[in-house]
Structure 1
Amino acid sequence: MTERPTAQGVASVQAAPHTPVFSPAAVVASCVGFVLIGALQALYGPAIPAFRDEFVLSPSAAGLGLSAHFVGGVGGVLLFDRLYGRIGNRQLLGSSYLLMAVGAAGFALAPNWPIGLAMALLAGLGFGGIDYGLNQLFAIGFGRRSAAMLNILNAHFGVGAILGPALIGVVGSDHYPAIFLGFALVNLPLLLCLRGVRDRAPEPADATRAESGRGLVLGRSLGSVLAMFVALYVLHVGIEAGVGGWEPTHLETVGYGAGVAATATSVYWLMMTVGRFLAAPIALRFSAQSIITVSCAGMTVCLLLASVPGLAPYAYAGVGLFIAPIFPTGLPWLNRAAPRARRAGAVVIAASMVGGVAAGPALGKAIEWSGIRAVPLLLCGISALCLAATLWLIRATRATTTH
């Protein structure tokens, strides 16, 4: 990432008013694309019993399927970012859809586990390209409506994450090859809708105004601002993955049955999806800074309440609701705070994926030391750090609220 000596003031980053970045059909297709990437990420876990039986795998070896997917996802983000602006957006998105389709089909038909892992990596490469590409284009393509549109887009990821496991549950994990093949085929019609995507990357609406904003952000270096955005994204995705992974175990430890614990975890993911749909109209009226501050504060309070056994299932649902807007709402704020740091979006999205991968082992080590009952308090401490990072960013990017 190229750094400048000081953080930039805001320039509205949007496409020229006469040429929208997305046609209405392309917006719908993009939301369908996010349903698909949400489903793909969520399909690996429920299919693990079938992987283990078919390829005679240990639990850790079977879990490598999702790890390969995430490694590919990080690679896809960085590759898309490297080619962004050099190759047309349609070609980049189309290649990402094809990579995901080929990878999913190859995973379904893999004759052995090493080839399966290679195909999961390939599918993840396409996944990362779509995730970053559409987030980036939505962040700069709708002007003041970008935060609202990003919440809607990312809410569809949650829809897919709910539907994927449900589909495995209906047909059975033994039929995972057919599901992955069907998933690959559903990708292909989306290629036809790419004609509605503006092919060239939108440019900042007023580059000179961004230049004149140098030094207005309390003299903070651009590198410091980007580092704090990365910290915010890594930490909040760590909480997201931590609750999703450890909520059932914590609830069972404090006395709830396995069925109740599983249902409560499903409600957590559902509330995250609902929260993003609810945040869309809110983002039209309130600033990203305000929304993320309230989200981090609410998330911290809910995690504190989750340490009370009688309140825990409801408190975890509240965490899902409050954490929902942070990822999509932060991207337009990042683009305004650092309008010339084109790679900033790629850095924070790739970092969020790394955070999701690292959260499991890191939280596991902390739990070994403190015990399962401390899960909500550990996550509450991380959430407090998210709130502190947000307040720091508000001060450091104060020029963005007045420029």
Structure 2
Amino acid sequence: MVASCVGFVLIGALQALYGPSIPAFREEFGLSPSAAGLGLSAHFVGGVAGVLLFDRLFGRIGNRRILGSSYALMAVGAAGFAAAPNWPAALAAALLAGLGFGGIDYGLNQLFAVGFGRRSTAMLNILNAHFGVGAILGPALIGAVGSAHYPAVFVGFALANLPLLLCLRGVRDRAPQPGGAAPESGGRPLGRSLGSVLAVFVTLYVLHVGIEAGVGGWEPTHLETVGYGAGVAATATSVYWLMMTVGRFLVAPLALRFSARSIIAVSCTGMTACLLLAAVPGLAPYAYAGVGLFIAPIFPTGLPWLHRAAPSARRAGAVVIAASMAGGVAAGPALGKAIEWSGVRTVPLLLCGVSALCLAATLWMIRATRPVPVSG
């Protein structure tokens, strides 16, 4: 368990290392801003491919091999990115590192979702909170050593993966059956078709990750537009990511007392209200921090709910995790186009509308996953 949490610190750090290193990429390889941004895009493409690939292998080659291969791929990819002689080679290495990233993200989330019974929601929130710890530490490390020294940081990150290969003996080679957690439907047929439930789960994950990425990407610009200084805007954005991490740690004990559906419903309601308040300039920095707090539990809490609502759909977890990554990739262009039409000041209102759709999807799923009344 400790090694798994360390693994999530590392994948959080890897994802966050690309952005602060962009100035050095551009200088070293002579890149435009859009070309430099392809590093993170290649990472996400590899991540989606890693989720789908390792889902196909899940249950066939054993969980230890899946996780071990993922750690090794991420280490080789990170080292290759540091040593790449040109930008195409660097993109290929980022793709390889992303492949390992996706395998770890999928593999550990899947095992935690089914391996802890009724404690799965709490354990998944703790696991994913460590992703946030890595996402905070990665940029801080680049800031401390300077972006020009990003190759050394990537090499150090690659080496940090290797000891985790020695900690896989505690992983079962086959996933335990999710029998320790009673199905949300009480073991009876769901009130809606399985396909509809999965489609709405995917919609929730795509939309909420779009909000997560949208706030992280556009909060500084919005705050500066409404009158805050660049330093305040940057600090407020850091607080937003910090609150996401804090929120997952705070929800872990609550998940032992309240159902996943209740936690997600409250999260979507609070997220929608905070985004509405963020449209008020004087409240915006504090409201964005509230968004981070409320959005934090949705990703890790939804997975156990999905497994209990649809225990027969083994690949459902892979679909929603891959969809969440796709949502992060699509959020930037989609939100950017909407902002071109309506202006930067409307960012919180645009995201509030998306959050309202998340709330509607959650309420639909609560109704859909109730047991069907059985006549006498």
Which amino acid is 1:363 matched to?
A: L
Residue pair 2:185, 2:369 contacting (<8 A) in 1 also: no
Residue pair 1:31, 1:156 contacting (<8 A) in 2 also: yes
Match of 1:74 in 2: 48
Match of 1:355 in 2: 327
Q: How many angstroms apart in 2 are the aligned matches of 1:212 and 1:280?
A: 23
Counterpart mapping for 1:95-134 below 5 A: 95-134=69-108
Match of 1:39 in 2: 13
Say yes or no: does 1:235 pair with 2:207.
yes
Q: How many angstroms apart in 2 are the aligned matches of 1:387 and 1:256?
A: 30
Counterpart mapping for 1:50-65 below 5 A: 50-65=24-39
Say yes or no: does 1:30 pair with 2:30.
no
Which of 278, 283, 300 is equivalent to 2:272?
300
Match of 2:171 in 1: 197
Which of 132, 146, 161 is equivalent to 1:172?
146
Residue pair 1:46, 1:165 contacting (<8 A) in 2 also: yes
Secondary structure of the 1:195 match is coil
Counterpart mapping for 1:4-403 below 5 A: 27-205=1-179, 213=187, 216-218=189-191, 220-399=192-371
Deviation of 1:156 (Å): 0.1
Q: How many angstroms apart in 2 are the aligned matches of 1:66 and 1:355?
A: 14
Q: How many angstroms apart in 1 are the aligned matches of 2:340 and 2:185?
A: 50
Which amino acid is 1:247 matched to?
A: E
Deviation of 1:399 (Å): 2.3
Query: Number of residue pairs matched?
Result: 373
Identical counterparts, % of pairs: 87
Residue pair 1:71, 1:124 contacting (<8 A) in 2 also: yes
Q: How many angstroms apart in 1 are the aligned matches of 2:159 and 2:139?
A: 18
Residue pair 2:116, 2:180 contacting (<8 A) in 1 also: no
Q: How many angstroms apart in 2 are the aligned matches of 1:77 and 1:141?
A: 19
Deviation of 1:203 (Å): 2.6
Output one character per residue of 1:169-197: Cα deviation in whole Å (capped at 9) or x when no partner. Answer: 00000000000000000000000000111
Change (3 A) 1:392 1:174: same
Change (3 A) 1:212 1:363: closer
Secondary structure of the 2:10 match is helix
Q: How many angstroms apart in 2 are the aligned matches of 1:314 and 1:81?
A: 39
Deviation of 1:231 (Å): 0.3
Q: How many angstroms apart in 2 are the aligned matches of 1:304 and 1:157?
A: 27
Q: How many angstroms apart in 2 are the aligned matches of 1:205 and 1:276?
A: 25
Q: How many angstroms apart in 2 are the aligned matches of 1:58 and 1:120?
A: 18
**Where do 5+ consecutive residues of structure 2 fail to align?**
none
Q: Highest relative contact order (Cα 8 Å, sep 6+), 1 or 2?
A: 1
Output one character per residue of 1:301-343: Cα deviation in whole Å (capped at 9) or x when no partner. Answer: 0000000000000000000000000000000000001101000
Q: How many angstroms apart in 2 are the aligned matches of 1:60 and 1:254?
A: 26
Output one character per residue of 1:63-110: Cα deviation in whole Å (capped at 9) or x when no partner. Answer: 000000000000000011000000110110000000000000000000
Q: CA RMSD in A?
A: 1.8
Q: How many angstroms apart in 2 are the aligned matches of 1:200 and 1:380?
A: 41
Which amino acid is 1:233 matched to?
A: Y
Residue pair 1:148, 1:280 contacting (<8 A) in 2 also: yes
Which amino acid is 1:62 matched to?
A: A
Q: How many angstroms apart in 1 are the aligned matches of 2:180 and 2:290?
A: 40
Which amino acid is 1:389 matched to?
A: A
Q: How many angstroms apart in 2 are the aligned matches of 1:229 and 1:368?
A: 29
Deviation of 1:221 (Å): 1.2
Change (3 A) 1:211 1:232: closer
Q: How many angstroms apart in 2 are the aligned matches of 1:213 and 1:336?
A: 9
Q: How many angstroms apart in 2 are the aligned matches of 1:346 and 1:29?
A: 22
Residue pair 1:210, 1:339 contacting (<8 A) in 2 also: no
Residue pair 2:117, 2:179 contacting (<8 A) in 1 also: no
Residue pair 1:303, 1:377 contacting (<8 A) in 2 also: yes
**Where do 5+ consecutive residues of structure 1 fail to align?**
1-26
Residue pair 1:274, 1:321 contacting (<8 A) in 2 also: yes
Secondary structure of the 2:179 match is coil
Which amino acid is 2:134 matched to?
A: G
* TM-score normalised by length of structure 1: 0.90
Output one character per residue of 1:114-158: Cα deviation in whole Å (capped at 9) or x when no partner. Answer: 000000000000000000000000000000000000000000000
Residue pair 1:367, 1:375 contacting (<8 A) in 2 also: yes
Q: How many angstroms apart in 2 are the aligned matches of 1:391 and 1:211?
A: 15
Q: How many angstroms apart in 1 are the aligned matches of 2:291 and 2:168?
A: 36
